[in-house]
Amino acid sequence: MPRATTSYPETRRHSLSSTTCLAVFLLLAAGLLVRPARLCAQVVPSAYGSTEKLWVGGEYSDFLPDFGPPNRITGIGAFADWIVKPRWGVEGEARFLRFNGFYGEAQDDYLIGPKVQIVRLGKLRPYAKFLVGLGQSNFPFTIGTGRYLALAPGAGADYRLTRKIALRAEYEYQFWPSAPGIAGEPSNGMKPNGFSAGFAYKLLRH
């Protein structure tokens, strides 16, 4: 079967470089994280301990890309959680699903949004989140590359091993409303979804 070597116009129309996407994501994350830091002196301690904390970590993900055959793709990611109140915080994540793709298929995402701790059960901290950002898909057979608005609700749990180290596992269900935008394919939206597991380390505590 011959392999196409060019992208369809529909997928190139909104083309942005991966470097640009990452730069925008980092600037948004920095803006949200720096603002709470300036208010640190006004925070009142609670029964949960000092309010503002910064956790960073890495994870391994296994996702269903929701395009073509039901072939799962895997990859790695990084995240940062800025806890601004006892239960509330902001999470930013970047994920790169580059392994096991169907004939070159890959997906990346750059997301940020609110995160809430549902309950505290000893060392276990279940949470929910709703992230918004950019999703990118490299479609199989090099038929095109698309970049889309991504909405990503998710839920999971952190397990505190020590005061500074935690394990975490979660499920995330993304919705890309305008995808795939490829000639000859219906653009009813794509719903990449899957599981991630990893660890986090507490860098900062005010």
Which domains does the chain carry? 9-40+51-205 (2.40.160.20)
pLDDT tens column, 80-130: 999 999 899 999 999 999 999 999 999 999 999 999 999 999 999 999 999
With beta carbons less than 8 A apart as the criterion, state whether 76 and 115 touch. no
Q: Can you give the pLDDT at residue 97?
A: 98
pLDDT over 50 (residue 42): no
Q: Which residues 6+ apart lie within 8 Å of 204 measured at CB?
A: 52, 53, 54
Q: C-alpha 187: how far from its chain's center?
A: 22
The first and second tokens of residue 150, run together, are 């991504």
Q: Can you give the pLDDT at residue 184?
A: 75
Q: Can you give the pLDDT at residue 13?
A: 38
Q: C-alpha 32: how far from its chain's center?
A: 16
| pLDDT band at residue 25 using 50, 70 and 90 as cut-offs | low
pTM value is 0.76
- Min mean pLDDT across 69-73, 78-82, 153-157, 181-185 is at 181-185
- Min mean pLDDT across 14-18, 100-104, 116-120, 184-188 is at 14-18
